[in-house]
Structure 1
């Protein structure tokens, strides 16, 4: 049963699993004279179930049912092995009169864990049947202390941080303002300003849906540093950000938090006003300032009509003094917020994220989902919380906007925690890297992504060498002990080695290296020309052309990257290439046998979430065996049983891999990719880059990921202002040009 418990509850302390098995086994040997009394095994089962649920930290009904089922199976096994008649008693034993009375006067070697406090349960029958308890008292007390500490810690969190209750309310029932004010209580006066805004939390546990994300982890953020949070797809990075934003973990209440997670709700408010309104406390303080100023004017008028010696005058003076103090605190807070510079700063941020002065005045309901996400990001940057949480910000931005954001964050005055798989972005922004894995957090101070990657690999190699060395030493000591333990001449040496073995620290086996490989099929050779666009023009309406005079030639050895601001027509160019749109003018010629593989985000959305990847591929691309589909998925990092799981349980990165695997089944000559790196983790992006470099056909890619553009594309084309032209330089040169243009226009915000 112990192995089953470890499988059901990963990381379960072996002391608890040994105790659970021992206690149930002990209870199975006990009998009761009164058939109406509760069975010892029934009570033991309930107590052990409660103990295991508490130790798991997951109090969901699903987890409790799973543990209950596991305990019941073990009881059935015990009952059959002990020859107990299950039908002679309501649960699970028949009564049997013992040859001699049971002494229940002592509780030697037993504990008071959970349900065991109600009575004396260490039964020892005399003469005819004597059963010795298998429970080790010291081990049990250690287990109890761990459980009590964990329960006390959870109670402390719930008592001290009321904002964690926000999770019990659906988000849609709260407006942005209500949520902001609940999570970030206003701190007036000098006391809050003097408090440290560093965050240091020890022994935090986070779970979601019964899955443990962090266990006894240490979480530390130094104020003013910028942290990049990295880890594999599905490891729980977004869950950690969400827990921080709702204060599920004990972040001090004087540290304000803002999380860019969802697009804003559209209404008639202009874009710039939506950004200004995002700083809820600024808006609230301005109203309070106006209200108190009005009250002071009234008091001043009343006071002027009274003699200085009257009681009413003294009361009014006291009231005025209190209002003056409050108003002074408000002025101080508004000054700290630089409220007078708010509108110019909001306009500057919006401009950097691609909003022209005209678009800044548009109502938010007129923007698409992608632009509303940009507005959400602009609101967060404008508010400048003490802790800014960003989850894959580059997924919603084009290269110019990513360049602006990276430059802006480099001067950000507070703490930033960003989840990103964009290496170039992390290299520019992060001052430190936090690596989330194995339910813990590892810190790499003063490291951008490249130095982190090198250091992490070196750490892994050192840990592997130390582990292998200790395992060899342990094996050597154990061999000597086994050989000479019962040899009189060598017994003292054997005992010495036993003590040495016991004192050796227990090292965990290092994680196996996580690697992913993508493999596209071989390409049938075609004679040129393959795809040619000549003087192509296109517009969704006749009076508003989007593209004009586009000339583009794609061959089997092409590696073309298309960049430019959102809305300039990059995706439209790809749809013209793949014949999804028809040019309003010009010529697009393609080879008669050409097969084009087109990847876009909607291909991921089109996957059947209720089917497994194997079932979906067999239905959509019939003609192969399940084993062939599983082998094909394995070429894109979908291995083991993952291909047989429902796709709704896969992470975003795993779904993208399934979409790429489906794409490759069409045996394309040309791959046309629209933002292929979205949702892929860093290892997946590396695997895709390598596979595209090895691919024997042509590649045309729209991407915002600088690293992928650098690794894959040999030529860069810029789509902007209705034209598509080849850029004379690489993506680094393009970013420098964007930054220079922004600086010249005075767009980049200064701090």
Structure 2
């Protein structure tokens, strides 16, 4: 029966694609015969062979035609699976020669990914597309195996990112000859996938040396994955271009901050270490007589790299990032996570890579606190992922928009990008509508007009978030700290005599430099940390929802988002859990994938769904926008404004603060001060302070 069904699909192929050459026919029919169990929907079948069939059709069929043919073949195969083991008769469209077709299956059994089809150089099918199709099918099979393993209790196997790129003979010759001296980065016609999901296809990325590029796009589309593919050189970058990817903060140990930056120069550190060892040998009389010659060579090498100027250069960079002379001598373990991220950035600036890849938050906090002038002196290329408009307007010279599995480049800052993108969308919509009208009125002549058929404008769907109201009126004080002292170590107070209060109408943003105690104060407010002295008061009916900047630590990464909610809030139906996740954009297949496989922004949305499930009446949010795309940040702001309850948040996102907060608390010097003038007054205070310190 299986052979007959597969033969029917083969007949469909022969009828619809008479130009299909022998090797490609064997490949496609081999997939249909051997991988039909992997096709859970027509989308799976279309993904496996649709692009190849489009290629061989030579524009005689569009996507809709190809999908209809795939639907026909899927129905045939699905009928086979449903009726497996039963006596079933199927009426075929025409007589077929099963013996001839099954011969091709015998030669095609090993054509499934892992053993590639031997290529015919004259084949009409693009070899690269064939390889991509094989990779997608292999990923589909691997995922099915992972699901089966997960059900059987085996350890979770996470999907991996991969990249493929069409080779350029010219670039290969230049690289081999060593004549390529350009520091521009040109990556053409490449694909990036994460597991079975295609993130980019046929994309081009051009980075001109010395320009600063902001990479923007919705959560989960592949921005972080793209940076990792570049950093690992999974995408081809000329070998003479050095790359540094800053995504982790510096580890806390006994190394002084200044020394941790100097250690980035491994050549200098190695020479200094050898000099110290040789000098010690000479001074102790244990030398062999050759130390003098080697020391002369070391001194010459140190002079050539200007090693004596390195401490001063490192100190200037650290000062530009807010480190005082005293702080530069403190050990890295004495700094908070935010300051350690600044150290990571300082190391990057000191190392001077040709291409710097940045996590947006690491640079963003520096800029927002007014000490980010370092970017103006940076001579190399920067590619930064960021969702902050103000930051991109201040820093970026170009914007790269990742959407619809492609990259579009725009000259100028973010505001210019928004303006040009809107104009392009309007023009595309006008062209589409004009062609639709043309097709309706001149349908008879349409086939003779050599004009490509336009598709509807690809617009991003609107992001909607809604925080359920757990609201009931009760008298203040709702949440209050009275004369609170707190320290982790007795000789280092974080707060002294701290008194603050909030009610159900509060919209408060807590600001201040890294290490000032913002997150600590939030934990005292929640009751997670007890005051050393003083009183925390909370209303008996207060129900707090907390979002941590380290929210990933609160999630079980090995189960799906649906299972996570069911585990934490048992007793509801799967439909209720999926509805809750859907309120935060985690719907469809995303809701049943392991949380570990989601992007940073998607994990944040899961955390929001988990936080709001019990319907709190007061939210405490610590850096809630860190991993969210711009559209989701806007939706979050709207949801918080519509929420009937209290709010205290910590954020570095100026636009988000302006959209949501009515009151500003400045954390620093062991206390918290309320600023009546809001963010504008706070910015004026910062600028005056930085002028006095010589940063502006």
Q: Shorter-chain TM-score: which interval?
A: 0.7 to 0.9
CA distance in 2, matches of 1:719, 1:243: 39
SS at match of 1:418: strand
Structure 1 residues 455, 340: CA separation in 2 closer, same or farther (over 3 Å shift)?
Answer: farther
CA distance in 1, matches of 2:689, 2:130: 56
Kept in 2, the 8 Å contact 1:677–1:705? The answer is: yes
Structure 1 residues 411, 685: CA separation in 2 closer, same or farther (over 3 Å shift)?
Answer: same
CA distance in 2, matches of 1:679, 1:10: 34
Q: Is 1:714 aligned to residue 662 of structure 2?
A: yes
- Tell me which residue corresponds to 1:631: 579
Kept in 1, the 8 Å contact 2:481–2:500? The answer is: yes
- Tell me which residue corresponds to 1:506: 453
| Cα offset, 1:225, TM superposition | 1.6
SS at match of 1:609: coil
- Tell me which residue corresponds to 1:168: none
For residues 603-633 of structure 1, the C-alpha deviation after alignment (integer angstroms, 9 at most, x for no partner) is: 4322222333233223322343322232222
Structure 2 gaps of 5+ residues are 1-8, 14-41, 58-65, 74-91, 118-124, 145-163, 278-295
- Tell me which residue corresponds to 2:342: 374
Structure 1 residues 328, 585: CA separation in 2 closer, same or farther (over 3 Å shift)?
Answer: closer
For residues 312-342 of structure 1, the C-alpha deviation after alignment (integer angstroms, 9 at most, x for no partner) is: xxxxxxxxxxx99x9999977x47xxx6543
2:97 alignment partner, one of 9, 14, 29: 29
| Cα offset, 1:204, TM superposition | 2.7
CA distance in 2, matches of 1:282, 1:569: 37
SS at match of 2:448: helix
Q: Is 1:360 aligned to residue 328 of structure 2?
A: yes
| Cα offset, 1:733, TM superposition | 4.0
SS at match of 2:237: coil
- Tell me which residue corresponds to 1:7: 47
| Cα offset, 1:509, TM superposition | 3.1
Q: Is 1:659 aligned to residue 572 of structure 2?
A: no
Q: Is 1:699 aligned to residue 665 of structure 2?
A: no
| Cα offset, 1:44, TM superposition | 4.4
- Tell me which residue corresponds to 1:275: 261
Kept in 2, the 8 Å contact 1:400–1:564? The answer is: no
Structure 1 residues 664, 68: CA separation in 2 closer, same or farther (over 3 Å shift)?
Answer: closer
Kept in 1, the 8 Å contact 2:140–2:196? The answer is: no
| Cα offset, 1:639, TM superposition | 2.5
| Cα offset, 1:60, TM superposition | 7.7
CA distance in 1, matches of 2:173, 2:557: 40
- Tell me which residue corresponds to 2:246: 260
CA distance in 2, matches of 1:347, 1:661: 44
Structure 1 residues 206, 625: CA separation in 2 closer, same or farther (over 3 Å shift)?
Answer: closer
For residues 224-273 of structure 1, the C-alpha deviation after alignment (integer angstroms, 9 at most, x for no partner) is: 22110001112111222222223333333333322112344555543212
Once structures 1 and 2 are overlaid, which stretch shifts more, 404-413 or 694-703?
404-413
Kept in 2, the 8 Å contact 1:30–1:40? The answer is: no
CA distance in 1, matches of 2:140, 2:617: 50
CA distance in 2, matches of 1:285, 1:274: 17
| Cα offset, 1:680, TM superposition | 1.3
SS at match of 1:358: helix
For residues 65-107 of structure 1, the C-alpha deviation after alignment (integer angstroms, 9 at most, x for no partner) is: 858999xxxxxxxxxxxxxxxxxxxxxxxxxxxxxxxxxxxxx
For residues 692-714 of structure 1, the C-alpha deviation after alignment (integer angstroms, 9 at most, x for no partner) is: 11111111111122221111111
For residues 20-58 of structure 1, the C-alpha deviation after alignment (integer angstroms, 9 at most, x for no partner) is: 99xxx999837489xxxx933322455587459952544
For residues 337-370 of structure 1, the C-alpha deviation after alignment (integer angstroms, 9 at most, x for no partner) is: xx65432231233234454433423444665655
For residues 565-598 of structure 1, the C-alpha deviation after alignment (integer angstroms, 9 at most, x for no partner) is: 2222111211121112222222332222222222
- Tell me which residue corresponds to 1:307: none
Once structures 1 and 2 are overlaid, which stretch shifts more, 237-246 or 737-746?
737-746
- Tell me which residue corresponds to 1:590: 538
- Tell me which residue corresponds to 1:470: 435
SS at match of 1:738: helix
- Tell me which residue corresponds to 1:43: 107
For residues 679-702 of structure 1, the C-alpha deviation after alignment (integer angstroms, 9 at most, x for no partner) is: 111111111111111111111111
Kept in 1, the 8 Å contact 2:199–2:221? The answer is: yes
For residues 429-459 of structure 1, the C-alpha deviation after alignment (integer angstroms, 9 at most, x for no partner) is: 112111011221111102x223322332332
SS at match of 1:633: helix
Q: Is 1:63 aligned to residue 137 of structure 2?
A: yes
Kept in 1, the 8 Å contact 2:484–2:499? The answer is: yes
| Cα offset, 1:600, TM superposition | 1.0
CA distance in 2, matches of 1:351, 1:697: 42
SS at match of 1:588: strand
- Tell me which residue corresponds to 2:208: 222
- Tell me which residue corresponds to 1:243: 229
| Cα offset, 1:558, TM superposition | 1.1
Structure 1 residues 60, 582: CA separation in 2 closer, same or farther (over 3 Å shift)?
Answer: farther
| Cα offset, 1:384, TM superposition | 2.4
SS at match of 2:499: strand
SS at match of 1:499: coil
CA distance in 2, matches of 1:10, 1:348: 57
Q: Is 1:559 aligned to residue 633 of structure 2?
A: no
For residues 520-560 of structure 1, the C-alpha deviation after alignment (integer angstroms, 9 at most, x for no partner) is: 12222222222222222222244432101222121211111
- Tell me which residue corresponds to 1:461: 426
SS at match of 2:558: coil
SS at match of 2:167: helix
CA distance in 2, matches of 1:594, 1:574: 15
Structure 1 residues 289, 746: CA separation in 2 closer, same or farther (over 3 Å shift)?
Answer: farther
SS at match of 1:581: coil
SS at match of 1:218: strand
SS at match of 1:540: strand
CA distance in 1, matches of 2:638, 2:554: 26
- Tell me which residue corresponds to 1:313: none
Q: Is 1:350 aligned to residue 318 of structure 2?
A: yes
CA distance in 2, matches of 1:223, 1:62: 34
Query: RMSD over aligned Cα, in angstroms?
Result: 4.2
1:403-482 pair list within 5 angstroms: 403-404=369-370, 406-446=372-412, 448-478=413-443, 480=444
- Tell me which residue corresponds to 2:122: none
- Tell me which residue corresponds to 1:519: 466
- Tell me which residue corresponds to 2:29: none
| Cα offset, 1:219, TM superposition | 1.4
Structure 1 residues 68, 568: CA separation in 2 closer, same or farther (over 3 Å shift)?
Answer: closer
Kept in 1, the 8 Å contact 2:139–2:196? The answer is: no
SS at match of 2:369: helix
1:705-744 pair list within 5 angstroms: 705-744=653-692
Once structures 1 and 2 are overlaid, which stretch shifts more, 228-237 or 644-653?
644-653
CA distance in 2, matches of 1:731, 1:200: 41
| Cα offset, 1:721, TM superposition | 1.3
CA distance in 2, matches of 1:419, 1:694: 29
Highest Rg: 1 or 2?
Answer: 1
So what's the TM-score if we normalise by structure 1? 0.68
Kept in 2, the 8 Å contact 1:352–1:747? The answer is: yes
CA distance in 1, matches of 2:135, 2:383: 33
1:96-495 pair list within 5 angstroms: 153=167, 195-265=181-251, 268-280=254-266, 334=305, 341-364=309-332, 370-394=338-362, 399=365, 402-404=368-370, 406-446=372-412, 448-478=413-443, 480=444
CA distance in 2, matches of 1:366, 1:272: 13
| Cα offset, 1:498, TM superposition | 2.6
